[in-house]
Structure formats: C-alpha cells, structure tokens
Structure 1
Amino acid sequence: MSPQDSAADTLAASPAPATRRNAVTLSCLQALGGASPAIVIALGGLAGQQLASRPELATVPVTAYSLGLAFGTIPAALVMRRLGRRYGYVIGVLLGMAAGLIAAGGIYLQAFSLLCLGTLCAGLYSAYVQSYRFAAADAAAPQFRTRAIAWVMVGGLFGAIIAAQTIIYTRGIWPAAPFAASFVAQACIALVALPLVLSLRIAPPAAAARQAHGGRPLAQIARTPRFMVAVLAGVISYGLMNFLMTATPLAMVGCGHTVSDATLGIQWHILAMYGPSFFTGRLIDRYGKIAITTTGVALIGVACSVALSGLSVAHFWGTLIVLGLGWNFGFIGATSMVTDCYRPEEKSRVQALNDFLVFGSVAVASFSSGQVMARGGWHAVNFAVYPFVAVVLLALAWLWLRERRGGTGLPA
C-alpha cells in the first residue's frame, strides 16, 4: 500500500468535524432524553399505586409509557419526514415538557387518568429520542456510522445517572404530593435539551422532503433478508432484555433479598447496558455487525444460565450485568445492520417500521413478564427466553452464510 493510500484510509476512518459535533450533540440529547423513561419507570408504578382505584392498576402509568413509545414511532417519523429532524425534535422536546407537567398535575390533583396521560406523552417524546441514533448514522460517512450510533448510545448511561440523581433530590420536596416534583424536574430536563436541538446541523426540511419521495416500496425492503434478520435481532434483544429486567426485582424480593439489593442490581444493569458503548462501535468495525450481534444475543442466553444456577444476590446481579452487556451488543449491532438496508430516500419509512416493531415488542414483553412470573415463577421466566435466543442465532448464522456466498441484499 502506498503512503498516499494509507493517508486516504486514515482520513476516511476519521469523522469530519461536523459529523463528530453532531454525534456528540446527539449523545448529550440522548442523555437528557434518556432520563425521562428512567424517571417514569422508577416512579410511575409508585405514583400509580397511590392513585389507582385497584392495586392491579398500579403499573398502568408505565404501560401507558410503553404504548406511547410504540405507537409514537410512526407519527414521529412522518413529522420528521415533513419538517426535518431538527424541527421534529423540537416537537419531541415540547412533548417531553408537557409529559412531566401533566404527570405532576395528575399527582397533585389526585387524578390517576391525568398521570397516565402524562406518561403516555413521555412515551411519545421517547419515540423522537429513539431516532437520535439513526440521525447520527444518517449524518455520518458510511465508515463512521457504527461508531456514531455507539456514541449516541453512550448518552443513555448518563441519562440513567441524571434520572437517579433527579429522583433522589426531588422526590420529597412536596410531601403532600409525593413524586410530583420529580416529574416537574423531568419537564425541566426536557427544556434543557431545547438549545441543543436547535444547535444541530442536519438536512433542512426542504432537503428532507426531497428525500422522502422515491425509493423502493416499504414491503419490498421489509422482505430483504438482511432487514428481516436485523429487525428480528433488535426485537428479540430489546424484548428479552425488558422481559428479564422487569421480572428480576420481583424475583429478588420474592427470594428474600432487600429492595436496596434489587435497586443496586438494576443500577449495575444500566451500567452494563450503556457502558460498553464506548468501544462497541470499534468492535463492530473490527469483527463485523453480524458477529457482534450474535455475541449479544448469545450473552442474553448466558444471562439466563447464570440466573438458573442460583438465587443469591451475586447470581441476580451477575444475570443483570450479563443481560445488559448482551443488550448493548445485540441492539447496537442490529441497529447498525438496519442502516445497511435502505437508501437515503427510504430512511424515514424503514427506521419508523424498525422502531415500531422493536418498541412494540417491549410493551408486549413488559406485560408478559409479569404474567409468566406470576404463573410459573423465576425459573419459567428464564426458560422462556431460550427458544427466542435459539431462533435469532440460527437466523444470524443463515444470514452470515448467505452473504458469505455473495448474496448481500444491500441497496444499490
């Protein structure tokens, strides 16, 4: 290789300053936007328990959040396709602010339905937040896309920290309306994101509108092997992570461990989910998207094996840590695979379909987890995971063999 070729390769591997700036800004937005669901999931059930007419309705606010996320993905994509990502994200931020204020008002007024409306709006806000990773990829050169996605996902780690500290310092401010101040703080965190959104340098609405037309029919794209396997891997990675994560605190308390032990386990889980993002992109560049996605899905199966090997605090924590690591590799790898499946004019439709399927599975998983746990116990929860892991591993192996033989199915 000549010195000129080497220098060209080095330059190609380095992101342009504007690309790097956008990725960092989107990572900061992910941190602020990621605090919203963490607050809802941590406090939604507790607030619901105070306001619900029946105990079994206590988790409805969290379910409302999941439904808002699942059903908000396609409308969010339509808004961004028409107005551009930047102004779409402004609408998302406004929804985030409204979510916190409405939920706080519901707690203050003792109105359960208003609390649920607030958490539903938080889900709609998250539908915009979840597209940050695609925005970073779309603005980057092909060789930097995977690392741009990983950079954005790093923001989720800081989002969990922001949420935890927000809850600690605000939950008792108004004793007459517990947790209301935390939801007001959630609205303030969304407000902080507004100047960052306005500083983004993404294609203007006119360019976005021109890209929205043309391209292949969505049904044709959805039938391509790489897209089908990528979506399957994303759905299973996120769905199984949520399925196990939801059941673990219940299982720990049921086995006699303290709520503090369960809370600390979830904290370790979140660190394992987002911490590896510092190097996941480089691993994908080195070993390939299919290889890292396969590793992530396999680790989810390993997490179940750890869970089935004992019921001590160490076993539960080990399960959550391995599960978080598996989600990171599986979800980032699957997202990177999806970015290979569309042309620029097709991106909004394909990304919306992917996120609708992925986050729709999260709503199903969170509901199913409680049902399986109540009827079959902790062991049944873990045994239920293995068939899904096996199906995805077989699909990834099939895709790898197919592409190795030359049939990539990537868009021209």
Structure 2
Amino acid sequence: MATTTPPSATGGPSSWRHQAAVLAVAQALGGANPSIVVALGGLVGARLAPDQTYATLPVSMLQFGIALGTLPAAYLMNRLGRRGGYLIGGAVGVLAGAVAATGISVGSFLIFCLGTLMAGLYSSYVQSYRFAAADDASPADRPRAISWVMTGGILAGIIGPQTVIWTSDLIPEAPFAGGFLGQAALALISILVISQLRSRRPAPVQATATRRGRPLMQIVRQRRFVLSVIAGLVSYGLMSFVMTAAPLAMVMECGLSVSSATLGIQWHILAMFGPSLLTGRLIARFGKVQITVVGLLLIAASAVVGLMGRDVAHFWAALILVGLGWNLGFIGATSLVTDCYEPEERAKVQAANDFLVFGTVAIASFASGTLQMTGGWAMVNWLVFPFVAVALVALMLPDRSGRLRPS
C-alpha cells in the first residue's frame, strides 16, 4: 500500500526541506528545555524535597509530562494542524519556565514539580517535530527529514547547558531560578520560529468513512511496530536512566562540581544530536534494524565505561557514549515506526508510540534517582545490560510473518 503524501498536501516536492529546516531551529530551542530540567532538576529537588529519595522526581515529572501530553497534543494537531498545535505548545513552555522559577523562589517543591511537569507537556510537542518533518517527505526521504530535525539538537546541546551556566545565579536569593526563566525565554523565541511553519491541516480524506484507517489494535500488533516500541523505549529509557543519575552521582556521590556535571550534560546532548545527518545516511545504506542494534551496543558500552572509574573523564565518556547510542537507536526506532501506518493513521500511531516510550522513560528517570541514592552509580550502570540484551534479542529474531500473530 502506498504511503506517499500527495504533493498537493505538502506544497511541492521540496516542501519537506522547508518544514524540516524550520523544525530543526525549533528543535534547537525546544530541545534545550529538557536539558535545563535534567541539569538542574535533581539538584533543585535535593534542596527542596522533603525526602532525598524524591530528589529526581522533578525530572521524572518532565518525562511523565511528555507521556501525558502526547495524546492531547496529537488531538490538537489533528484539529488545528501542526503549526497551530506547536504554537500552543510553545505557550505552555513559557508558562512552564515561569512556574518552575516561582517554585524555586518560594521554596515549594510541589510548585517546582508542577513547572517541570508543564515542561514535559511542552516537550510532548517538541518530540513530535521529527514526525512532522517525516509527514511531508516521501518514504525514501523520511530518514533524512527526521535526521534534519534531530540536528537541531546539536544547538540545543549548547543552548541548554549554557543557559544554565549563564543564568542560574541571576537571582542570588533563589539559586537556579534564573535557569528556568531562561527556559521560558527560549520557548517564547520558539513561538516566533514555529510561526514560519507552513500551515498544513490534515488531509480531508481523514474525515471520510472509507479512509479512517485500520483500528489501532490491528496496527500495534505488527511485529515492526512492536520492535520499534521496544527499541525506542529501551534506547530512550536507558539514556534517561543514565542521564538523570549522572549529575547526582557527579556532585553528591563523587564530590565533583556543578559546572562539571552541567558540561557533562552538554557533551551528552551534543553526542545525542551531533551525528543526526550522518545517521539518516547510515540507515539508508545499512538498514534501520542494523543501525538500531549498533545504538543499543553503544549504550551498553557506556555502562562499561561508567563502571571503570569515577573521575570527570569517565563520567563524560559514559555520557557521550550513551548519547551516541541514543541517536542511532532512537532515530532507527522512529524510522521503523514510520513504516507502520498509512497517512490517515499517523496521528494515532505516532501518539501511541510516544505515549508508550515516554511513559517508560518517566519510570526510568524516577527509578534512576532512587537507585542512585540507595545503590550508587555502579548499580545504575549494571542495570543497563539486561535491558539492552532483551532489545537485542527482539530485534535479531527472524521475521517470518511480519506480525506477532496472524491477523
């Protein structure tokens, strides 16, 4: 069955390049949002939380917000078009930074967690930028379109941590509040960028009784969809698991500086997004499953490095490796998802995928904080291996039917 979007819906064959370029800039700004929460959330949580076990709860609320926001975001974009939905998402991002900064200023852990939850709701829109670019591309161009958008994360990897470094002491009586005001400012700028996106409402064919697409349960039974979800939740979940624990381990367990931890997150995010253009070409040459497998092996390698030492170099190397692994694993998994649906099915399938992936990521980020406080950095790294093993086995099993069971 053909999955090509009609040229009339996209504005011409080169439309995907314009959309991907705008979305890449928006990704640079919106992608800085989670890096700020990750760099500061655990540290602020350790200061405000009534129990140190809940120190990473603000970061978990970010991930929970992403999962919680995927379905409403998909509904709004289906009703208003991508641009209308993303403008609403940008407004939520502005409010998120303001609420988080307020929570720090008044010393309220609850308000601060509400702010990071709202930051997650904003990120649920940002996370779908990759799908928006793929919507306007032909099947052959989809990996490239996704990679274009993901390269915006290179700038996000610089913008987010540098925002933390330059603004965290902006309000001396409320340490780190300035970082979240900077987060709000970046979201405001992203609204201006998104306004340049070409408005593209869902094709009228979606409204017809004969082209509503297959039931969601039929789609999610596809072996390829199940593999894409497993690969996505393991690669993203483990990345979040390690990334959330690392700043706490560096500062609280090993006595390293906040600046070292923040720069470690910067190198991590650069590694996450830096290879993106190359990743699309690698997928086109070697295949989606093969590149996803390499990504998972790199995540396992990051855990090996994390177990080898506790100085700055070991932490940074582990964060870089898990970032590279996430890039290959998650872009590969996203490309697998785009093979699973027809144009009229994309909204519900993309939302289902992101809900499953980011719901798991929320659990992983909270668990990493608890494990870091109870078992330390070593336990965090040891737990990477079994999950990678499960995903590798699933991806390497022979595909005989294309489905988990006959339909």
Q: TM-score, normalised by structure 1?
A: 0.87
Query: Could you tell me which residue of structure 2 aligns to residue 228 of structure 1?
Result: 226
2:154, 2:296 → 1: CA distance? 20
Partners of 2:78 and 2:201 within 8 A in 1 = no
State the Cα RMSD in Å.
2.3
1:179, 1:255 → 2: CA distance? 21
Query: Could you tell me which residue of structure 1 aligns to residue 197 of structure 2?
Result: 200
Q: How does 1:267-346 map to 2 (within 5 A)?
A: 267-346=266-345
Consecutive unaligned residues in structure 2, runs of 5 or more: 1-11
After superposition, the Cα gap between the structure-2 partners of 1:167 and 1:301, relative to the gap in structure 1 and judged at 3 Å, is: closer
Partners of 1:238 and 1:327 within 8 A in 2 = yes
After superposition, the Cα gap between the structure-2 partners of 1:142 and 1:158, relative to the gap in structure 1 and judged at 3 Å, is: same
Query: Could you tell me which residue of structure 2 aligns to residue 5 of structure 1?
Result: none
Compare relative contact order (CA 8 Å, sep 6+) and give the higher one, 1 or 2: 2
Query: Could you tell me which residue of structure 1 aligns to residue 237 of structure 2?
Result: 239
Larger CA deviation: 132-141 vs 385-394: 385-394
Query: Could you tell me which residue of structure 1 aligns to residue 154 of structure 2?
Result: 157
Larger CA deviation: 153-162 vs 60-69: 60-69
1:215 and 2:251 aligned? no
Larger CA deviation: 262-271 vs 320-329: 262-271
1:186 and 2:178 aligned? no
Larger CA deviation: 380-389 vs 229-238: 380-389
After superposition, the Cα gap between the structure-2 partners of 1:80 and 1:50, relative to the gap in structure 1 and judged at 3 Å, is: same
Query: Could you tell me which residue of structure 1 aligns to residue 33 of structure 2?
Result: 36
Q: How does 1:122-137 map to 2 (within 5 A)?
A: 122-137=119-134
Q: TM-score, normalised by structure 2?
A: 0.88
Shift of 1:89: 0.8
Larger CA deviation: 217-226 vs 33-42: 33-42
Percent identity for Structure 1 against Structure 2: 57
After superposition, the Cα gap between the structure-2 partners of 1:360 and 1:252, relative to the gap in structure 1 and judged at 3 Å, is: same
Query: Could you tell me which residue of structure 2 aligns to residue 368 of structure 1?
Result: 367
Shift of 1:140: 0.8
Deviations 1:141-194 (Å, cap 9, x if unpaired)?
A: 111100110111111121121122222332222223333333222222111112
Partners of 2:42 and 2:244 within 8 A in 1 = no
Shift of 1:272: 1.2
Larger CA deviation: 321-330 vs 373-382: 373-382
Which residue, 104, 129, 146 being the options, matches 2:101? 104
Larger CA deviation: 242-251 vs 329-338: 242-251
2:85, 2:199 → 1: CA distance? 11
Shift of 1:283: 0.6
After superposition, the Cα gap between the structure-2 partners of 1:211 and 1:247, relative to the gap in structure 1 and judged at 3 Å, is: farther
After superposition, the Cα gap between the structure-2 partners of 1:184 and 1:394, relative to the gap in structure 1 and judged at 3 Å, is: same
Partners of 1:80 and 1:87 within 8 A in 2 = yes
Deviations 1:31-77 (Å, cap 9, x if unpaired)?
A: 11111122222233344444444544443332322221111111111
Partners of 2:164 and 2:179 within 8 A in 1 = yes
- What letter corresponds to residue 320 of structure 2 in structure 1? I
